[in-house]
């Protein structure tokens, strides 16, 4: 749930699976945090714990066993203070702050921490008065996400994560949380694992203090998220080493290109081995454990969803452009004309609006952002068909179909569950290696039997286009990280992916 990226995604998909984890430190120098799962209550979309069994001390992994429904959201347990107060947090590589609900009184009712009226659903709250190691900070704090905000004050205390005690760690006691952010969340708070540049108020993130206090062997951590929905074990977050039992084969590493996020370059996106043409000038991506699904530009997500049979929103604006200007755009593409949408007056030229009176161009349209974005999508769609040497009519028909199925922003689209086996393979070219997701791995299933519902694992997030380096941007969330074991190598400023162990 990155401060800039994944809050909206998290909010929408917290009603999917949530996981609980327990932790232990083994004698091999590796710190393991076991990730476990919760089942979704289909009646009210609130994640509920089905069964909880506390393992005895003889279990080396120290994992809390939970009933498994599906792999969508993952979280684990930490402790704060002396004696320890336990909390569940989401370990989020898309943010860097740690915040926990506070027991301090909240005075503004519309901002108070929201707790549904259910005995099985409550938040643990930090009580500074109960901790002997608490130290007052008092600095006011407020963090804004796409879907709301949290506010409170910084405090300092000892924090236990994976058997490691981080001393004098600053964190936020949240006294105000927007109702929209964690209305359906099972976990208590967020523990960010992003870079220090992403933190607010100059606070040293907990991950940095693990390294500064000499608590881990190597400056690296990795996620293994279990993709076998029949098993109760949800995965592990490992600090300080890479556990070989969590992956098959070697990792492909790519450098971090732009902080403060774990951001890297991606060369191509393809469907059944055929490029969809959205990364001609390169793409950027982040690996984000705080995002449930896989997000990308609407241009690409529309193409992917079309191939897996999604029926999205009909865009009359899109269809009108294709009907009125489709032939002209296609002709210009065939003639290898540049800046097609600007030349036709659909996009600004040098930051100004433009109306053309040339008979070969649009004669009466005034530029608008919506028309410009739509036109640029249409150009990409047409280019993807031209490389396949399709006829003019086939290309126009294809684009018209895409206009009928644009995704709703921030929402997962419904697909036909019976067609999963015939859906295509989607691949991402990272570091010269193709990372593929099968149709089953791209779909999110809910319910069983007659109540079964399937959702596309792809959602559109065009508001990320304004981030450096200003090229098509992707968020590879849990759906991708379940398939590929992910290493966050802070020491070498790189990210690695390998096939996850089954």
Number of neighbouring beta carbons within 10 Å of residue 432: 8
Q: What does 412-457 look like in DSSP terms, one character per residue?
A: PPEE-GGGGGGSPPEEEEETTEEEEE-HHHHEEEES-GGG-EEEES
Contacts of 273 (CB under 8 A, 6+ apart): 425, 427
Predicted local distance difference test score (pLDDT) of residue 375: 86
- Dihedral angle, C-alpha 454, 38, 189, 4, nearest 10 °: -20
> pLDDT per residue over 16-33, tens digit each?
322 222 333 444 555 566
246-299+417-500 CATH pick, 1.10.357.10, 2.40.50.140, 2.40.70.10, 2.170.16.10: 2.40.70.10
**Active centre residues (catalytic):** 92, 288
Report the SS3 class of residue 36: strand
Upstream peptide bond of 260 is cis (omega within 30 degrees of 0): yes
Domain residue ranges of the chain, discontinuous segments joined by +: 7-241, 246-299+417-500, 316-403
Q: Encode 421-431: b = buried (16+ Cβ within 10 Å), e = exposed.
A: eebbbbbbbbb
Residue count of the chain: 502
Q: Which residues sit opposite 92 in a β-bridge?
A: 192
Of 325, 332, 318, residue with least CA distance to 371: 318
Number of neighbouring beta carbons within 10 Å of residue 408: 12
Predicted local distance difference test score (pLDDT) of residue 64: 24
Q: Are the folds of 7-241 and 246-299+417-500 the same?
A: yes
Asked if 231 and 34 touch (Cβ cutoff 8 Å), the reply is: no
Predicted local distance difference test score (pLDDT) of residue 368: 43
Helix (H) or strand (E) run with residue 499 in it? strand 494-500
pTM of the prediction? Answer: 0.81
7-241 CATH pick, 1.10.10.10, 3.30.499.10, 2.40.70.10, 3.40.50.150: 2.40.70.10
CA atoms within 13 A on the CB side of 7: 21
Listed as ranges, residues in the chain with pLDDT below 50 are: 2-27, 38-70, 107-111, 113-121, 351-369, 464-466
DSSP single-letter state for residue 30: -
Predicted local distance difference test score (pLDDT) of residue 312: 79
Contacts of residues 38-42 at CB distance under 8 Å and 24 or more positions apart, as own/partner, are 38/66, 38/67, 38/69, 38/186, 39/67, 39/68, 39/69, 40/15, 40/16, 40/69, 40/70, 40/446, 42/446, 42/447, 42/451
Helix (H) or strand (E) run with residue 393 in it? helix 392-403
């Amino acid at each position: 749930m990155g401060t800039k990226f994944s809050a909206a995604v998290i909010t929408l998909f917290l009603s999917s699976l949530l996981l609980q984890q327990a932790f232990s430190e083994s004698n091999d120098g590796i710190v393991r945090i076991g990730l476990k799962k919760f089942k979704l209550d289909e009646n009210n979309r609130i994640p509920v714990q089905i069964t909880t069994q506390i393992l005895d001390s003889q279990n080396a992994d120290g994992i809390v066993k939970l009933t498994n429904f599906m792999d969508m959201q993952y979280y684990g347990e930490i402790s704060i203070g002396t004696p320890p107060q336990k909390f569940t947090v989401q370990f989020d590589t898309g943010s860097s702050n740690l915040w926990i609900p506070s027991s301090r009184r909240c005075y503004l009712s519309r901002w108070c921490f929201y707790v549904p009226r259910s005995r099985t659903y409550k938040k643990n709250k930090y009580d500074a008065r109960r901790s002997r190691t608490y130290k007052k900070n008092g600095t006011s704090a407020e963090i804004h996400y796409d879907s709301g905000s949290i506010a409170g004050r910084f405090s300092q205390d000892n924090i236990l994560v994976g058997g490691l005690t981080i001393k004098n760690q600053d964190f936020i006691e949240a006294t105000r949380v927007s109702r929209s952010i964690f209305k359906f969340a099972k976990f208590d708070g967020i523990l960010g694992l992003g870079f220090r540049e992403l933190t607010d108020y100059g606070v040293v993130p907990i991950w940095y203090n693990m390294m500064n206090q000499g608590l881990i062997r190597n400056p690296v951590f990795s996620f293994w998220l279990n993709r076998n929905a029949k098993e109760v074990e949800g995965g592990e977050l490992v600090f300080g080493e890479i556990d070989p039992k969590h992956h098959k084969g070697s990792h492909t590493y790519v450098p971090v290109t732009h902080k403060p996020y774990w951001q890297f370059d991606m060369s191509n996106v393809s469907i059944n081995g055929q490029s969809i043409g959205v990364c001609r000038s390169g793409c950027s991506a982040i690996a984000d454990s705080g995002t449930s699904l896989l997000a990308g530009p609407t241009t690409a997500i529309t193409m992917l969803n079309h191939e897996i049979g999604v029926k999205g929103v009909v865009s009359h604006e899109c269809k009108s452009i294709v009907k009125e200007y489709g032939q002209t755009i296609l002709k210009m593409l065939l003639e290898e004309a540049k800046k097609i949408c600007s030349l036709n007056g659909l996009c600004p030229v040098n930051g100004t609006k433009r109306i053309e009176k040339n008979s070969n161009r649009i004669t009466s349209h005034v530029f608008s952002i919506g028309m410009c974005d739509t036109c640029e999508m249409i150009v990409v769609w047409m280019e993807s068909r031209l490389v396949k040497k399709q006829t003019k009519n086939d290309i126009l028909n294809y684009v018209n179909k895409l206009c009928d199925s644009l995704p709703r922003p921030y929402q997962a689209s419904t697909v036909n569950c019976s067609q999963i086996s015939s859906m295509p393979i989607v691949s991402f070219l990272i570091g010269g290696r193709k990372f593929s997701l099968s149709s089953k791995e791209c779909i999110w299933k809910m319910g069983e039997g007659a109540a079964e519902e399937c959702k596309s694992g792809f959602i559109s997030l065009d508001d990320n286009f304004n981030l450096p380096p200003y090229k098509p941007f992707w968020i590879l969330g849990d759906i991708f990280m379940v398939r590929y074991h992910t290493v966050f190598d802070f020491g070498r400023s790189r990210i690695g992916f390998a096939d996850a162990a089954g």
